[in-house]
Amino acid sequence: MGWPLPETQALVLGTNRQLCGIGEPGEIVLRTPFRSLGYINAPEEKRSRFVKNHFRNDDQDLLYYTGDRGRYLPDGSLEILGRLDHQVKIRGIRIELGEIETVLAQHASVHQTVVTAHEDDFGEQRLVAYIIPNQESTPTINEIRRFLSTKLPQYIVPSSFVFLDSLPLTPNGKIDRRALPTPSNIINLDIFVEPRNQLEMQLVQIWSKILKVDKVGVQDNFFDLGGHSLLAPYLIAQIKQQFGKDVSLTSLFQNPTIEQLATIVQIDSNYSNSSCLIPIQPNGSKLPFFCIPGAGGEPFYLYHLGRYLGADQPLYSFQVNNLDGLEPATRIKDMASHYIQAMQAVQPRGPYFLGGHSLGSIVAFEMATQLLNQGHIVALVVMIDMSAPTSKDKQARIERIDWDHARWLIELIKAVEVSLSTNIDISYDTLQSLPVEEQLKYVLQHLKMVNMLPPNAEITQMKNMVQALKANSLSLINYVPEQIYPGRITLLRASEIPPERLASKFSEISQDSTWGWSEYSGEPVDIHFVPGNHITMMAEPHVQALAERLKVCIEQVQANMVLLNMSMN
């Protein structure tokens, strides 16, 4: 941090080569008469670094692009933020490697560190931290990971850690990142808990196959290793096939390690649970928040929301088409009634805190109205990025009745593409030219290629996914709310709207900031914007901001309830 030398201008330019504002990061660009004439025997780098000043019409006035990131502070000083070439993009998120290195260097047992991104066998970028420990003590990987988790968002905590005696250097004394050993050639020095019996060994083999992870310890967390909503059913199916044991989704959520799951497999013989209620995070002293998932009906993507809401805030969700044989509900009112029955097994009386994402918001609203009609108190209703069921919205959905099977598959693929920040090269025309069974096989193969589904995935799950998406989406066509919610509806909107949504009939609805909910709210709608789009807002890193905003909403309602009780007394 400091100020430019005399007769030297230090500009901070954005990607559009325009000046950045105070506090806005960009590339540091120097304008000075003391610059060199360029690089020797490096014409391409010379052309990219020494560039004509586009702010003036003078061929001799050159700007030097340093490759450093920085920003101006309000006092006029320039803060250096690191190198541009030390930025990486993982699953669509820009990550500053220097930020991780700075935090990692704060650990008492770390002498020096470098963080890089390596591409794994499946083409995905993984963060790797190289560490030279202090001579006095060598930390374990679990210790380092726990330290970083208290200071960094989970999505930028490295997935691999490598201990070295020294870092490779270039001839001019800089760290040679290209010469760093790849993680596959390094022995993990962490205290690794290996399988201790035949059951744990078999479970390790199942996890390794489904998650495509070579080294799995019996204390590793399924979700931390990359498990998600589409892999969980396969884990449960594999356990059923290999051990003849039925493990519920609830058991998996509450016992996400092999060590815990092995106990369940041993005890829970032929366990069956017909409840659609899924405890995402059942612990805590506060009133639960019940959140209904979107049209796909799978609640697993709410796992990270539960983590960031905190250990004292219980979070429950629902799965209408769960693995225990429950028939998919196609009507909003039936779904709401079914969910209420399951919810009241955990919380028999209000006040209730309800919410939903996407189509789940409509179900949450219907649940609220049914509960009010039963005489219960509904203190909070949160709509997460969903418009009200207005006549305009209904017309847009009526068009979906005529969609063919290929169109529904394309809709499913779009959601996968956004959630994984990847591109699945499948066109509607290609699918339409195939019989339905071949369409499913074709998409199944592509989802396996991007590691969204395991290698042994079968066509049955593809059918179930399309059926759930179609049934739940079309259930909105004939739904009309029968009453107004007497309190204040809360609307959490994604700050990014995909281009295709802007071009659709939804753009007419979006002109109303309340997205039509003012028609059904007895008080003015409470609107908040959170980062991300309709899908990424529920995933790392944006889900942290969503959880923080949701916590504020819940705490505000709780505070109002306390004041109301005091006034009544």
Instruction: Note down pLDDT in tens along the chain; length 569 residues.
Output: 688 888 888 999 887 788 888 888 888 999 888 777 777 777 777 888 888 888 888 877 888 888 888 888 888 888 887 777 667 776 666 788 888 888 999 998 899 999 988 776 556 677 889 999 887 777 877 678 778 877 887 678 887 888 888 888 887 777 888 888 877 533 333 445 667 666 887 888 888 888 876 667 787 888 777 777 778 888 999 998 888 888 888 888 888 888 888 888 877 444 445 578 888 888 899 999 999 988 776 787 787 788 889 889 999 999 765 433 434 445 788 889 999 999 999 999 989 999 999 989 999 999 999 999 999 999 999 999 998 987 766 777 788 888 999 999 998 887 776 555 566 778 899 999 999 999 999 998 888 776 566 565 688 878 888 887 888 788 888 788 889 999 999 999 998 876 555 555 555 556 788 999 999 999 999 999 998 888 888 887 788 899 999 999 999 999 888 887 776 65
Residues 160 and 295 in one domain: no
Sign of the dihedral through C-alpha 309, 315, 317, 322: positive
Name the amino acid, one letter, at 438.
E
Residue 1, in any domain of the structure: no
The answer to whether the beta carbons of residues 26 and 9 sit under 8 Å apart is no
Residue 192, in any domain of the structure: no
Residue 28, in any domain of the structure: yes
pLDDT at residue 470 in the model: 84
CATH number reported for the structural domain that contains residue 26 in this entry: 2.30.38.10
Give the span between the Cα atoms of 30 and 51, in whole angstroms: 11
pLDDT at residue 357 in the model: 94
**Pairing assessment for the beta strands 62-72 and 50-52 based on DSSP bridges:** antiparallel
Three-state secondary-structure class, residue 134: coil
Residues 311 and 438 in one domain: no
The answer to whether the beta carbons of residues 304 and 540 sit under 8 Å apart is yes
The answer to whether the beta carbons of residues 396 and 504 sit under 8 Å apart is yes
Residues 367 and 414 in one domain: no
Residues 298 and 384 in one domain: yes
Give the closest residue to 336 by CA, choosing from 475, 474, 230: 475
Residues 468 and 404 in one domain: yes
DSSP letter, residue 221: B
Residue 190, in any domain of the structure: no
Residue 492 Cα to chain centre, angstroms = 16
Q: Which residues contact 343 (CB under 8 A, 6 or more apart)?
A: 277, 290, 316, 318, 352, 367
Give the span between the Cα atoms of 235 and 230, in whole angstroms: 10
pLDDT at residue 441 in the model: 92
Helix (H) or strand (E) holding 9: strand 9-13
Tokens (6 digits) for 64: 């030097």
Give, in order, the Cα–Cα distances in Å from 240 to each of 195, 231, 270.
Answer: 20, 14, 9
pLDDT at residue 188 in the model: 39
Residue 210, in any domain of the structure: no
Tokens (6 digits) for 79: 């803060």
Give the span between the Cα atoms of 422 and 241, in whole angstroms: 32
Residue 491, in any domain of the structure: yes
Residues 383 and 281 in one domain: yes
User: Number of helices (H) and strands (E), helices first, in the chain?
Assistant: 18, 17
> CA 76, 77, 82, 83: dihedral to nearest 10 degrees?
60
Sign of the dihedral through C-alpha 212, 213, 218, 224: negative
Residues 417 and 366 in one domain: no
Residues 19 and 111 in one domain: no
Residues 385 and 491 in one domain: yes
pLDDT at residue 197 in the model: 66
Max distance between CA atoms of the chain, in angstroms, equals 84
Residue 212, in any domain of the structure: no
Compute the 3-state secondary structure of the chain and give helix, strand, coil in percent, each to the nearest 5. Answer: 40, 20, 40
DSSP state letters, 192-254: -----SHHHHHHHHHHHHHHT-S---TT-BTTTTT--TTTHHHHHHHHHHHH-----HHHHHH
CATH number reported for the structural domain that contains residue 152 in this entry: 3.30.300.30
Count: domains in the chain: 5
Its domain, for residue 247, covers 199-204+219-267
Give the span between the Cα atoms of 231 and 213, in whole angstroms: 13
Instruction: Enumerate the β-bridge partners of residue 169.
Output: 175
**Pairing assessment for the beta strands 485-494 and 352-357 based on DSSP bridges:** unpaired
CATH number reported for the structural domain that contains residue 346 in this entry: 3.40.50.1820
- State the residue for tokens 């979006």: 510
Residues 76 and 103 in one domain: no
Helix (H) or strand (E) holding 237: helix 232-243
Residue 226, in any domain of the structure: yes
The answer to whether the beta carbons of residues 104 and 144 sit under 8 Å apart is yes
DSSP letter, residue 41: T
Task: Kindly list the strands in the beta sheet with 160-163, ordered across the sheet, starting from the edge strand earlier in the chain.
Answer: 110-119, 125-133, 160-163
Residues 321 and 457 in one domain: no
pLDDT at residue 414 in the model: 79
Give the span between the Cα atoms of 144 and 176, in whole angstroms: 23
Give the span between the Cα atoms of 312 and 287, in whole angstroms: 9
Give the closest residue to 353 by CA, choosing from 534, 556, 83: 556
Name the amino acid, one letter, at 314.
P
Residues 37 and 97 in one domain: no
Single residue among 474, 497, 513 that ends a domain in this structure: 474
